Amino acid sequence: MTVIGKSVTRLEDRALLTGTGRFAGDQNFEGQLYMRVVRSTVAHGCIVSIDTRAAAEMPGVFAVWTCADVADVPAINLRPGSALQDLERCRQPILAQGVVRYVGEPVAVVFADDPYRAEDAAELVWAEIEDLPPVVGLMDTPGEFSPGVSTEPSVFETGYGDVDAAFASAAHIIECELTVGRHTGVPLETRGALSIWNEAKGQLEFHAAAKVPHNNRIALATLLGLELDQLHLFEGHVGGGFGVRGEIYPDEVLVNLAALRFRRPVKWIEDRMEHLISANHSREQTHRIRAATDADGLILAIDDEFWFNQGAYARTHGATVPSVTAAMLPGPYKLPAYRSTGHIRLTNVTPAGTYRGPGRYETTFVREMLIERIAAELGLDPLEVRRTNLIAADEMPYDRPFSVGGSPIQYDSGDYPGALASALDQFGYDALQAEMAARRAAGELAGVGLICFVERGGDGPFDDVRVEMAADGSVEVVTGVASVGQGAETVVAQVCAETLGIDYSGIVVTHGQTDRIARGQGARASRVTVMTGNATHMAASGVRTILLETAAGLLQSPAETLDIVDGVIGLAGSPGDGPSLTVAEAAAEAICARGGTHLAVEETFEIDRATYSFGVHLAAVSVDPMTAGVTVERYAIAYDIGRAVNPMLVEGQLVGGAVQGIGGALLEEFLYDEAGQPLSVTFADYLMPTAAEVPDIECLVLEGDRSTTNPLGLKSGGDAGVTGAGAAIAAAIGAAIGKPETVTRLPVSPRRLRDILKAKS
């Protein structure tokens, strides 16, 4: 029975293809109230007064809260384990307490019996706010952000080796400043929540939970003053996550607080404008980076200083993004000495958190454009500079002598130069470069960018899985993982089916229900297949052992001589021959002998480090010199995932991620004016790629060396599509216009590119 490695279709699809999904907005409870948040319209100001009288008198309005009504609820905590970096004092209250710090910050909240009425009433809440000067520039000289808090609450330094000595002896020193714009995940489903007090059970039930239900249960219980057993979270369908959806925001706390206080169900669905100004932003950082190289382009040291725009508050992720930024910058290259100095900056814009590929998308752009610059200044082919610096296969496992968040950085396996060679071959790189050179010679602006990166995923600390088999042989896998659309159910079912020798399609995978399993880590940081997959394998192996031992008695053959094939237990190696019994028969027998209603085995997979994998992105673009528009003519990804549980789903992650990354490279950006007013508040000004802006993404899924961090040998795949996209597009544009050093900022919007082209001519 081999279902691991097969591109089987998804278990998730049926409900989603027939319109019977249960997304946040699809769920309702009798007698529910609808919540509408009143948000600040100024970036920084003192709240003089908030007049709620007109709103409260509207028909259907049940209650209106301002900060005084929720003063007993603490600010939202940073998640334990997130790199904290002294950000505790920058936490966000659930309603602004005296001062507003970004446009979109919740200042009041209205509850009514109808969503239209709630919105009408919210428009009548009048907050008088006295403007204060906003901080909008990431690179401004540090000053006071709020009483006793600097606009630069944290600066941290990390690295290894003797950077200064390397620079002192370098043949070349190359330096540049590179900036990534402010983007975020923007799932197609906006945020939503539905909470109900269950009187019979004496517990609050939060429906439409996402991403990290178990962690959020602990966080919410603390904020609401509940015992843990008084709160349960239930995940329904989730319309995209990308790191943004499913964190604890003020809105989710308010919904739960209201349901708790009113003893009535409360529902909240935000609109798209609210989403774009209040869900976590991400990415925005500026790097001033220097490389010391020898005469052949071998990098001896990198000294990187960067500034990260956290926005107005620290959110649940704490300093995760800048911390991962420092960890991921070295990428797939040797780099004997490295120093990273990170500045976390507060400004009066929407707060930031993680977005798919956090710290990877940004640093891959910065590092790979640095390499383009090194190649240009030394007169070398950028591909040769990459080859010169790539970690060799015989250097694996490769230790980086520093850590991220206490977790050691060890690249566990892989043949990076070999994978690069496969990619060049598969993509017809030489021919493509020749074609582009000919087009440039004929006067066109066309070029190829090829970049390398390392992906990190499958980190711990643990995942629990319980596999339950009923007397009819049916199987349920219960896990604390979450599904955000990536196919988690299918992959977990495949691993379980492979281990038990049964069909994957009948396996039920239950996730995101805190009343079904005590702990869980959710869906974050490309961890699900690695962590939950291995835990599933362990628990299913336990059930398998029971089945084989039971069958051994009945078949009068030692358990180690038996195997399960297609749900039938018989002698290993000779399916169909000799005595046999079905899995269901063995399960019934075992349950009868052991008591209870199920065979249930729960296991924990623990790990203290992540797995690392290698990939290549290639972009071929042309630039219209009149409009400065960029056409992405080809886009290809090679990614060595070690072992693919479901290659079709891996490709799905790569293709989808790449298009998100192309969005950030060419289109997407949250812009603000000098007063801190957001200029990207609808889908007409926050532009995401449509089918017309992207080519068919080509994929080469490689299964080279398996991971050594986990028994199944799995590596992560969720972020590998997005990670290289900014770098590949930027490098391709640089090649197209013949000036890689002029492409210093993402997104490369037509306006910016027009300025570059003007300056060039």
Question: Which residue, 305 or 698, is less far from other proteins as judged by CB?
Answer: 698
> How many C-beta neighbours within 10 Å does residue 72 have?
8
Backbone CA torsion sign across 410, 381, 703, 634: positive
The answer to whether 18 contacts other proteins (rule: CB under 8 A) is yes
Range 302-341, binding other proteins (CB under 8 A): none
CA-based R_g, the chain, Å = 27
Q: How far is the CB of 655 from other proteins (least distance, A)?
A: 4
- Residue 656 binds to other proteins (criterion: CB under 8 A): yes
DSSP 746: E
Cα(532)–Cα(487) distance, rounded to whole angstroms? 13
* C-alpha closest to that of 498 among 517, 490, 483: 490
Site for other proteins in 674-693 (CB under 8 A): 682-684, 688, 690-693
User: Which of 231, 722 has the CB closer to other proteins?
Assistant: 722
User: Is 30 a residue that touches other proteins (CB under 8 A)?
Assistant: no
Of 477, 478, 587, 658, the one binding other proteins by CB under 8 A: 658
The answer to whether 520 and 532 have CB atoms below 8 angstroms apart is: no
Pick the binder of other proteins from 632, 649, 702, 728 (CB under 8 A). 649
Indicate whether 12 belongs to the interface with other proteins (CB under 8 A).
Answer: yes
- Please tell me whether residue 58 binds other proteins under the rule CB under 8 A: no
- DSSP assignment of 152-210 equals --EEEEEEES-HHHHHHT-SEEEEEEEEE--B----SSPPEEEEEEETTTTEEEEEEE-
Specify the 3-state DSSP secondary structure of 641: coil
Q: Which of 184, 188, 189 is nearest to 243 (CA)?
A: 184
Per-residue x/- track, 449-488, other proteins (CB under 8 A): -----------------------------------xxxx-
DSSP-derived 3-state class of residue 647: helix
In angstroms, give the least distance from the CB of 16 to other proteins.
3
Residue 559 has phi, psi (to 5 degrees) of: -55, -35
| First CA to last CA distance, the chain | 63
Question: How many chain residues interact with other proteins (CB under 8 A)?
Answer: 56
Give me the least distance between CB of 483 and other proteins, in Å please: 9
Among the listed ranges 92-100, 268-276, 359-367, 544-552, the one in contact with other proteins (CB under 8 A) is 268-276
Buried b (16+ CB within 10 A) or exposed e, 386-417: bebbbbeeeebebebebebeebebbbbbbbbb
- With binding defined as CB under 8 A, does residue 626 bind other proteins? no
91, 172, 261, 272: which one contacts other proteins (CB under 8 A)?
Answer: 272
659 binds other proteins (CB under 8 A): yes
Closest CA to 709 of 499, 493, 407: 407
**List of E strands, 405-444:** 407-411
User: Rule CB under 8 A: is residue 20 a binding residue for other proteins?
Assistant: yes
Determine how β-strand 630-640 pairs with β-strand 611-623: antiparallel
> Nearer Cβ to other proteins, position 58 or 572?
58
**Is position 522 an interface residue for other proteins (rule: CB under 8 A)?**
no
Q: Assess contact for 369 and 361: CB atoms under 8 A.
A: no
Shortest reach from residue 416's CB to other proteins, in Å: 25
Q: Tokens 């990170």 correspond to what residue?
A: 342
- Return the residue of 1, 5, 6, 16 that touches other proteins, per CB under 8 A: 16
Length of the chain: 761
Selected range binding other proteins among 17-25, 281-289, 305-313, 520-528, rule: CB under 8 A: 17-25
> CB 633 → other proteins: shortest distance, Å?
14
Burial 533-546 (b: 16+ CB within 10 A, else e): bbbbbbbbbbbbeb
Look at the alpha carbons of 744, 749, 755, 757 in this order and tell me if their dihedral is positive or negative.
Answer: positive
Among 56-64, 174-182, 253-261, 654-662, the segment contacting other proteins (CB under 8 A) = 654-662
- Measured from the CB atom, the residue of 10 and 466 that comes closer to other proteins is 10
Residue in 1, 298, 694, 701 binding other proteins, rule: CB under 8 A: 694
Instruction: List the one residue from 331, 332, 570, 657 that touches other proteins (CB under 8 A).
Output: 657
- 695-724 residues in contact with other proteins (CB under 8 A) are 696-697, 721
Which of 184-192, 283-291, 495-503, 739-747 is the region at the interface with other proteins (rule: CB under 8 A)?
Answer: 184-192
Stretch that binds other proteins, among 160-168, 179-187, 282-290, 397-405 (CB under 8 A): 179-187
Please classify residue 438 by burial: count the beta carbons closer than 10 Å to its beta carbon, then call 0-12 exposed, 13-18 middle and 19+ buried: exposed
Query: How far apart are CB 26 and other proteins at their closest, in Å?
Result: 4
645 forms part of the interface with other proteins (CB under 8 A): no
Nearer to other proteins, 185 or 642 (CB): 185
Helix intervals (H) in 581-646: 583-594
Residue 334 has a CB neighbour count (10 Å cut-off) of 15
Whichever of 106 and 239 has its CB closer to other proteins, that residue is: 239
The distance of closest approach from Cβ of residue 285 to other proteins in the complex, given in angstroms and rounded to an integer, is: 23
617 forms beta bridges with 451, 637
Nearer to other proteins, 251 or 415 (CB): 251
Stretch that binds other proteins, among 14-22, 67-75, 219-227, 415-423 (CB under 8 A): 14-22
User: Quick check: 652 binds other proteins (CB under 8 A)?
Assistant: yes
* Shortest CB 658 distance to other proteins, Å: 6
CA distances from 113 to 26, 51, 60, 116, 410 (A): 17, 21, 5, 9, 55
Binding mask 232-251 for other proteins (x = CB under 8 A): -----xxxxxx---------
Out of 25, 60, 418, 428, which residue is the one contacting other proteins (CB under 8 A)?
25
Q: Select 458 or 718, whichever has its Cβ closest to other proteins.
A: 718
CB 19 within 8 A of CB 228: no
**For other proteins, the closer CB: 237 or 706:** 237
Residue closer to other proteins by CB (options 25, 542) is 25
> Nearer to other proteins by C-beta: 309 or 660?
660
CB of 531 to other proteins, least distance (A): 20
Helices assigned H by DSSP within 463-511: 488-500
187 binds other proteins (CB under 8 A): yes
SS (H, E, C) 17-66: HHCCCCCHHHCCCCCCEEEEEEECCCCCEEEEEEECHHHHCCCCEEEEEC
Should residue 561 be labelled a site residue for other proteins when binding is judged by CB under 8 A? no
The span from the CA of 649 to the CA of 653, in Å, is 6
Residue 21 makes contact with other proteins by CB under 8 A: yes
CB of 191 to other proteins, least distance (A): 12
CB count in 10 Å sphere of residue 71: 12
630-640 vs 698-702, strand pairing mode? parallel
Binding mask 111-150 for other proteins (x = CB under 8 A): -----x----------------------------------
Residues forming the site for other proteins (CB under 8 A): 9-10, 12-13, 15-21, 23, 25-26, 116, 185-190, 237-242, 269, 271-272, 484-487, 648-649, 651-652, 655-660, 682-684, 688, 690-694, 696-697, 721
